[in-house]
């Protein structure tokens, strides 16, 4: 699927400011593009200087697609001070964040008894702790404005587990539990919180997987194919939109080729 296959811009997110973490590539990039097409003002968060070029290219692409001017913010989601600087920079320049997409994530594979403790900490820190760090800073403004949408990118492996991925699966299951809790807590402020739990999606995250794994996984999928980031992004648009997404909170939606059916 190419970006040109996606219908042109509309206005479901007009007037909203959306921050997407880890957006210089992959699923985050596709969500940033989909939000821009829907009229949102997009804040592209990227990790570091190694991602700067991709983030700048995305900014140019977003400017071509929509009428709002995207903002780039940099920072490592595992570093509390970086997260604060990123959020402060949006507040200084735009004044609010209406939609938060916690997308940044990493994956590795280890048998549980061979997994270094540092690696456990890295995966939990990047995938789960970061979601808390961003959420706690963004929620006060949402409460003040009585509107907010928090969208956390989990994984189907947080629902069913994954061999040699106890750390990754635990981080993603943690995101689902975290999201249900804040959905209960923040609903009274008209803030929704939901997860997207994709199945295998063609991004850099899968590039290390062997042909053997890919072929075996493909044969299990009811749709017999992996997804593309552009096929995950519409779920984020739905969850972010008012009124279309208004009744979803505490939910986990699964663009996953039918791999997991709950
Ligand atoms: P990706 O292309 O590798 O994108 C992940 C993004 O997160 C990259 O831009 C990465 O930047 C960024 N990131 C990683 N660590 C970071 C940090 N410490 N600080 C800031 N940014 C950081 O993979 P993707 O598939 O799009 O992944 C997006 C999300 O989808 C992840 O949460 C992933 O777990 C989830 N997901 C993916 C799949 C799949 O099959 N692809 C399935 C289910 C869930 P760097 O490249 O510089 O590290």
| pLDDT per residue as tens digits for the range 144-167 | 999 999 999 999 999 999 999 999
Instruction: Decide if pLDDT at 179 tops 90.
Output: yes
Instruction: Decide if pLDDT at 1 tops 70.
Output: no
CB-based burial label for 89 (10 Å; 0-12, 13-18, 19+): middle
46, 110, 168, 228: the catalytic one is 168
User: Ligand 1 within 6 A of 105 CB?
Assistant: yes
Alpha-carbon distance of 188 to 186, in angstroms, equals 5
Alpha-carbon distance of 254 to 261, in angstroms, equals 8
Q: How far is the CA of 28 from the centre of ligand 1 (A)?
A: 8
Tell me: cis bond preceding 16? Omega within 30 of 0 counts: no
Q: Residue 2: its pLDDT value, please?
A: 56
Shortest-distance atom of ligand 1 to CA 172: 34
Q: How far is the CA of 188 from the centre of ligand 1 (A)?
A: 31
User: Ligand 1 within 6 A of 102 CB?
Assistant: no
Q: How far is the CA of 196 from the centre of ligand 1 (A)?
A: 13
Q: Residue 15: its pLDDT value, please?
A: 96
Q: How far is the CA of 104 from the centre of ligand 1 (A)?
A: 5
If pLDDT is split at 50, 70 and 90, which confidence band does 67 have? confident
User: Ligand 1 within 6 A of 29 CB?
Assistant: no
Instruction: Decide if pLDDT at 86 tops 80.
Output: yes
| pLDDT per residue as tens digits for the range 23-58 | 999 999 999 999 999 999 999 999 999 999 999 999
Q: Taking residues 119-141, report their average pLDDT.
A: 98
Q: How far is the CA of 203 from the centre of ligand 1 (A)?
A: 9
What's the gap between Cα 188 and its chain centre?
Answer: 24
**Which of 24, 19, 11 lies closest to 67 in space, CA to CA?**
11
User: Ligand 1 within 6 A of 256 CB?
Assistant: no
Average pLDDT in the chain:
96
User: Ligand 1 within 6 A of 24 CB?
Assistant: yes
Instruction: Decide if pLDDT at 8 tops 80.
Output: no
**Does domain 8-201+229-247 bear CATH number 3.40.50.720?**
yes
Residue 168 catalytic?
yes
User: Ligand 1 within 6 A of 26 CB?
Assistant: yes
Shortest-distance atom of ligand 1 to CA 24: 9
């Amino acid at each position: 699927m190419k970006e040109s296959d996606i219908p042109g811009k509309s206005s479901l997110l007009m007037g909203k400011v959306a921050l997407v973490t880890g957006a210089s590539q992959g699923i985050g990039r596709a969500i940033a593009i989909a939000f821009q097409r829907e009229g949102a003002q997009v804040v592209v968060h990227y990790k570091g200087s190694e991602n700067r070029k991709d983030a700048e290219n995305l900014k140019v692409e977003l400017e071509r697609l929509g009428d709002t001017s995207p903002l780039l913010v940099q920072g490592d989601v595992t570093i509390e001070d970086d997260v604060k600087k990123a959020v402060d920079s949006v507040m200084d320049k735009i004044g609010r964040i209406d939609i938060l997409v916690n997308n940044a994530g990493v994956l590795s594979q280890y048998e549980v008894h061979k997994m270094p403790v540092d690696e456990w900490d890295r995966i939990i820190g990047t995938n789960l702790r970061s979601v808390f760090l961003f959420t706690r800073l963004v929620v006060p403004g949402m409460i003040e404005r009585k509107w907010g949408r928090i969208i956390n990118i989990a994984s189907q492996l947080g629902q069913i587990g994954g061999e040699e991925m106890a750390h990754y699966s635990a981080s993603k299951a943690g995101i689902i539990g975290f999201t249900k809790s804040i959905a209960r807590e923040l609903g009274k402020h008209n803030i929704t919180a939901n997860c997207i739990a994709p199945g295998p999606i063609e991004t850099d995250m899968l590039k290390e997987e062997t042909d053997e794994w890919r072929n075996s996984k493909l044969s299990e999928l009811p749709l017999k194919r992996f997804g593309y980031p552009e096929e995950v992004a519409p779920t984020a648009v739905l969850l972010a939109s008012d009124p279309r997404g208004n009744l979803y909170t505490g939910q986990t939606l699964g663009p996953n080729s039918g791999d997991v059916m709950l």
